[in-house]
Structure 1
Amino acid sequence: MKRRLTVVSAGLRLPSSTRMLADRLAEQARRDLEGHGAQVEVCAVEVAEHAQDLVGHLTTGYPSDRLRQAFETVTRADGLIAVTPTFTASYSGLFKMFFDCLEDTALVGKPVLIAATGGTGRHSLVLEHTLRPMFAYLRAVVVPTAVFAATEDWGGGDSQEPLVRRIGRAAGELAGEVRRREPPEIRDPYSDPVPFEDLLHHR
């Protein structure tokens, strides 16, 4: 069975520690799913690339073609990995804007792994205080283990071991949730249009 993983990364530049963490989580989840016989496609959405389109969507109510494609990539995913840098003890504004513009039913029942990066481990509570409540509100299925990576976690050697373990545990939980669900059914809003006569009748 083919499975799709979508990574939403809100780093402000490439390369970034946010994207690096997102890629490592996706790779580990991919390996876990492939180890159980699935074919896995991983797609990445860099939120910073859609910054102007997000502002336009908020002010006009209409997404650009590129932004619509990004939303579809999230909606069609079997599992989502969402990673943000930490700003003022919360997620980044761009990260929040992306999910504010996403269709409010797009994540219902969808397995989501949440993660964040920051300069110090003191910011790690952002995962439980802001990220988890937001995705719970969107009715996603947030896996128990969230991953925070501080600057010191990228030091290499023994300093990376705790991060490696958290990545492995969280990715395994996401893969497990994906495996026990059927692929999402995406309804085409234009597949069953309301007849014009009915529209006139209800005016």
Structure 2
Amino acid sequence: MRYILNRLLVAYVRDDMSNHISWMEFPALGGDGEAEGEPKSDLAIWCGRKEDCPSHMLDRPPVWLASVPYMPYIGRRARGRMPKPETLADLDAAVLLQCAAYERWPAVSAWNLIVRSRRQGVVRVQSPDLLHELVLGGAGVALLPAIAHKSNYNLVPLPEPFGQFFPVDVWLAVSDQRRHEISVKRLAALIADHFATKQNGVLSR
């Protein structure tokens, strides 16, 4: 997901040097959970549930952009220490790496069920970037977007254990006060068009 958005941002900034953009991590999940004092963004993009829309963007329903398929990955550095998991039972020999946001994603419930059933052999992190680095370092198995290996050879996809992708919904919301500004409307349209192309590892309706 981060890879897709970063490419979009590069294209947008190159096209218009008049932009003034703060590209930041989503501060919290859900309107009630937003951190006090956090800057109010003009746009928000997130994976998972529609209900996790920021509170200052609730005037209109969020827009569904696409579904990003996720699948398990292992780092190439881990392959010397453990065999490539090919069944769900094989995952018992691997440490499972879990991002906190996944716990709120209905689409990955089968993965979450296995993680929750573990009494040991689980590492939970808040940051998707840290999760990515842990997989690359060979620390264990984690869910990542199904195009992750295309940008890094050291990420090895594991399609066999579950035999399917986990399609995670991606949502877009715009600030109630800023939605009519030309720059905001333009960026929102660019984001929607980017996902609608079906060429960026996403699934559109």
TM-score, normalized by length of structure 1?
Answer: 0.32
TM-score, normalized by length of structure 2?
Answer: 0.32
- RCO comparison, higher one (Cα < 8 Å, 6+): 2
